[in-house]
Each structure stands twice: as C-alpha cells, then as structure tokens.
Amino acid sequence: SMKPSSIVAGLAAVAVAIQGVRLVAHGETNLLRPPGTHGEQDFLSRCIKCGKCIEACAFAALSPANGNTGFAVGTPTIDARAQACRLCEDFPCQAACPTGALRGVVQRNDVRMGTAVIDEDLCIAFQGLRCEVCYRTCPLIDEAIRIDYRMREGDAIHAVFAPVIVQDSCVGCGLCVQRCVVGEPEVAIRIVGDEGGPQAGDVGG
C-alpha cells in the first residue's frame, strides 16, 4: 500500500496540473506569443508545435516553451528581454505556420501581441533622469510611445521626460523591454497580454 506522504505528494501534483490547465484554458498565460495569434485558446487549439515559425525567425526571437508551461510546452514563445520581436515586414513566422495558428497580420499595426506597461517606480525617467531609450527603440515611435514633457513635482529646476504608452497603438513587440536600461530588481517596462494576463516580456528580469 502507498505511504500517506506519497499519496499527498501525488494529489499535490494533480492539483498543480489542474491549475496549469485552468490557467491555459482561460488564456491567462505568461507567455509572449509571436505576431498573428488570436487569443491563447485559439492559438493552443491550432498550434501543432511543429517549430516552423521558430525556424523561420531570422532574429532567433522565438523558442519553444519549456516544461513548466503545461499544455503550452513546445509552443513558440518570446523572451523579450533576451530578443524581442522585430516585426519583420513579411512576417516569416506567420507565413511558415501550416495550421493558421498565426494568421491575419498584413502590416505592423495589425500585430496585437500585448501592450507595454511602464512601472513608474522603477523607470528612471520618472525619477527625473533623462532617458528616452524605450521611446527611441520603438518601431512605432510617436505612435505607440511618446514623451510627455512636464516639470517635476516640487522641483522648479528639473523636468521629467516621461515615456507614455499609447495603448491602442502599442503592438507588444517587446523591443522596449529588451532595451530598457533598468534591470535591477526588474525591468521598468513589461508586456501585458490583451486578455489581461501577464506576458513573458519581463521574464528573467
């Protein structure tokens, strides 16, 4: 007969597995996906984990999800801090997809990978230091991100050049995450999924 401790461990493993399934089923994934997905559920129902999109990416921005991602293991993900999506004009990842898991993207503005969110407590621009790295690196400069110039509260000398995300225009490519100069304790900008779940643009910090 099984020891009580091994039964408890077994039940705990089942509970974790169920939790993983539930997170994936509701689209609350922490994985940043390539351009052309239509929600996590649609993507997982179509993606056959063939790796053709991963091979097609000239910048090696795509890699297979690792073993602690439940059903999503083996599906294409982006770690924006390591290598963000470059929004290639011909979207070779989408063209390589044989099942339509990646589809519907014709131009950059069609991409909806998520939205950048700035942590004002970590962003050095909000502390009064001049930094426009995320702004300058954005492929949709002045569309998806702009600089809001304002005087610093209680400071008559220093201005704040604050980066502001235009949510309707940001495509979630993650280039701002890759280039952010803040790295400790974590990156000052991250990509949040359109379903409201966090995405892995800030994984690894």
In the chain, the DSSP E strands lie at: 62-64, 76-78, 115-118, 145-151, 159-165, 189-192
| Average pLDDT for the chain | 85
CB atoms within 10 A of CB 106: 9
The amino acid sitting at 36 is G
Regarding beta strands 159-165 and 145-151, do their DSSP bridges make them parallel or antiparallel, or are they unpaired? antiparallel
Question: Over the stretch 21-43, which tens digit does the pLDDT of each residue have?
Answer: 444 444 445 899 999 999 999 99
**What domains are there in the chain, each with its CATH number?**
1-110 (no CATH), 114-197 (3.30.70.20)
Question: Over the stretch 151-196, which tens digit does the pLDDT of each residue have?
Answer: 877 888 778 899 999 999 999 999 999 999 999 889 999 999 865 4
Q: Exposed e or buried b for every residue in 158-168, given b needs 16+ CB within 10 A?
A: eebbbbebeee
The model's pTM is: 0.78
Q: 148: pLDDT confidence band, cut at 50, 70 and 90?
A: very high
Tracing tokens 């995450």 back to the chain, one arrives at 177
